[in-house]
Protein backbone atom coordinates (compact mmCIF):
# COMPACT_ATOMS: atom_id res chain seq x y z
CA UNK A 1 0.00 0.00 0.00
CA UNK A 2 1.35 3.42 -0.89
CA UNK A 3 1.88 6.23 1.53
CA UNK A 4 -0.74 8.96 1.64
CA UNK A 5 0.05 11.90 -0.63
CA UNK A 6 2.81 10.19 -2.61
CA UNK A 7 1.81 10.02 -6.27
CA UNK A 8 5.03 8.25 -7.28
CA UNK A 9 3.62 4.97 -6.00
CA UNK A 10 0.68 5.17 -8.39
CA UNK A 11 2.36 7.07 -11.21
CA UNK A 12 0.57 5.28 -14.05
CA UNK A 13 -2.93 5.97 -12.75
CA UNK A 14 -1.99 9.59 -12.01
CA UNK A 15 -0.79 9.87 -15.62
CA UNK A 16 -4.01 8.27 -16.89
CA UNK A 17 -6.19 10.70 -14.95
CA UNK A 18 -4.15 13.70 -16.06
CA UNK A 19 -4.79 12.69 -19.67
CA UNK A 20 -8.47 12.16 -18.90
CA UNK A 21 -8.70 15.67 -17.51
CA UNK A 22 -6.64 17.49 -20.13
CA UNK A 23 -7.34 15.71 -23.41
CA UNK A 24 -10.89 14.52 -22.98
CA UNK A 25 -12.41 17.02 -20.58
CA UNK A 26 -11.05 20.50 -21.19
CA UNK A 27 -12.34 22.66 -18.35
CA UNK A 28 -12.75 19.42 -16.39
CA UNK A 29 -14.32 20.82 -13.23
CA UNK A 30 -16.97 22.81 -15.07
CA UNK A 31 -17.78 20.09 -17.59
CA UNK A 32 -18.11 17.23 -15.11
CA UNK A 33 -20.59 19.17 -13.02
CA UNK A 34 -22.90 19.44 -16.05
CA UNK A 35 -22.97 15.70 -16.77
CA UNK A 36 -25.28 13.16 -15.23
CA UNK A 37 -23.69 10.10 -13.66
CA UNK A 38 -24.60 7.89 -16.65
CA UNK A 39 -23.24 10.46 -19.12
CA UNK A 40 -20.00 10.63 -17.16
CA UNK A 41 -19.79 6.83 -17.08
CA UNK A 42 -20.25 6.67 -20.85
CA UNK A 43 -17.65 9.40 -21.43
CA UNK A 44 -15.13 7.50 -19.31
CA UNK A 45 -15.87 4.20 -21.10
CA UNK A 46 -15.30 5.91 -24.45
CA UNK A 47 -12.10 7.47 -23.13
CA UNK A 48 -10.76 4.11 -21.96
CA UNK A 49 -11.56 2.57 -25.35
CA UNK A 50 -9.80 5.47 -27.12
CA UNK A 51 -6.83 5.34 -24.72
CA UNK A 52 -6.30 1.60 -25.22
CA UNK A 53 -7.07 1.28 -28.93
CA UNK A 54 -6.44 4.59 -30.70
CA UNK A 55 -3.95 6.68 -28.73
CA UNK A 56 -0.35 6.13 -29.80
CA UNK A 57 2.18 6.34 -27.00
CA UNK A 58 5.77 7.45 -27.37
CA UNK A 59 6.92 5.11 -24.60
CA UNK A 60 5.45 2.19 -26.59
CA UNK A 61 7.31 3.11 -29.80
CA UNK A 62 4.22 4.91 -31.13
CA UNK A 63 1.99 1.90 -30.72
CA UNK A 64 -1.27 1.69 -28.82
CA UNK A 65 -1.54 -0.29 -25.59
CA UNK A 66 -3.76 -2.79 -27.40
CA UNK A 67 -1.17 -3.30 -30.14
CA UNK A 68 1.48 -4.02 -27.52
CA UNK A 69 -0.84 -6.38 -25.68
CA UNK A 70 -1.57 -8.24 -28.94
CA UNK A 71 2.17 -8.64 -29.63
CA UNK A 72 2.68 -9.99 -26.12
CA UNK A 73 -0.25 -12.44 -26.36
CA UNK A 74 0.71 -13.70 -29.82
CA UNK A 75 4.44 -14.01 -29.27
CA UNK A 76 4.71 -14.33 -25.52
CA UNK A 77 7.34 -11.62 -25.92
CA UNK A 78 8.28 -9.73 -22.78
CA UNK A 79 9.78 -6.30 -23.26
CA UNK A 80 9.24 -3.26 -25.38
Task: Per-residue pLDDT tens, the chain, 80 aa: give them.
Answer: 556 666 667 887 888 888 888 877 777 777 778 889 999 899 889 888 888 888 878 878 888 888 888 888 887 655 55
Instruction: Give residue 80's pLDDT.
Output: 53
Instruction: Give residue 63's pLDDT.
Output: 85
Instruction: Give residue 38's pLDDT.
Output: 94
Which of the 8 DSSP states describes residue 77? -
pTM for the full model?
0.60
Q: Is residue 37 part of a domain?
A: yes
Whether the CB-CB separation of 45 and 52 falls below 8 Å is answered with no
Q: Is residue 80 part of a domain?
A: no
Total domains in the fold of the chain = 1
Q: Which domain covers residue 22, as residue numbers?
A: 7-75
Amino acid sequence: MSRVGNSLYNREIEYFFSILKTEIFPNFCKRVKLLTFNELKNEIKEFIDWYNNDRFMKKLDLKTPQQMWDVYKNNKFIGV
